[in-house]
C-alpha cells in the first residue's frame, strides 16, 4: 500500500469552515475519483497554534503508479478548488509513503 500524505496548516480564522469543507466535500470528492481505498484525517498536536492549525490527511492507494495517475488526471482540479476557496490562508505539502509493515498491539 502507498499512502499519499497531505499536510495542511490553516490560519485560525478559517479553521472551522476548512475542517467542515474537507470532511463534507473535498475528501469525499478525492475518494470518488476511484484512485484511493480510504482516507484518514488527523490533527497535528502542537503547543502553540496561534499562527495556524495543522492537519494531515492520509489517502490509501494500492500502487504508486495509481497515485501518479491521480496526480496527473484528477488532482489539478481538486487542488484548484481548494486554492480558490482558501487562497493565502493555508500552506500545504505532500509526501508519498510506502507501507513496509503493519504492527498491531
Using one digit for the tens of pLDDT, what is the confidence trace for 34-88? 999 999 999 999 888 888 999 999 999 999 999 999 999 999 999 999 999 999 9
Task: Tell me the CATH number at 93.
Answer: 3.30.70.100
pTM score above 0.85: yes
**Is residue 104, in this structure, part of any structural domain at all?**
no
**Is residue 40, in this structure, part of any structural domain at all?**
yes
Question: In which residue are the cell numbers 484525517 written?
Answer: 41
**Edge-to-edge, what's the strand order for the sheet holding 38-43?**
38-43, 53-61, 2-10, 90-98
**Is residue 103, in this structure, part of any structural domain at all?**
no
Interatomic CA distance for residues 78 and 25, integer angstroms: 10
Q: How many domains does the chain have?
A: 1
Residue 69: what are its φ and ψ, rounded to 5°?
-65, -45
Amino acid at each position: 500500500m502507498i499512502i499519499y500524505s497531505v499536510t495542511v496548516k490553516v490560519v485560525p480564522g478559517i479553521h472551522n469552515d476548512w475542517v467542515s469543507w474537507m470532511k463534507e466535500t473535498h475528501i469525499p470528492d478525492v475518494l470518488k475519483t476511484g484512485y484511493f481505498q480510504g482516507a484518514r484525517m488527523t490533527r497535528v498536536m502542537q503547543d502553540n497554534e496561534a499562527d495556524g492549525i495543522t492537519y494531515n490527511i492520509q489517502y490509501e492507494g494500492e500502487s504508486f503508479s495509481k497515485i501518479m495517475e491521480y496526480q496527473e488526471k484528477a488532482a489539478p482540479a481538486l487542488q484548484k478548488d481548494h486554492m480558490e476557496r482558501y487562497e493565502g490562508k493555508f500552506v500545504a505539502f505532500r509526501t508519498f509513503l510506502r507501507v513496509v509493515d503493519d504492527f498491531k498491539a
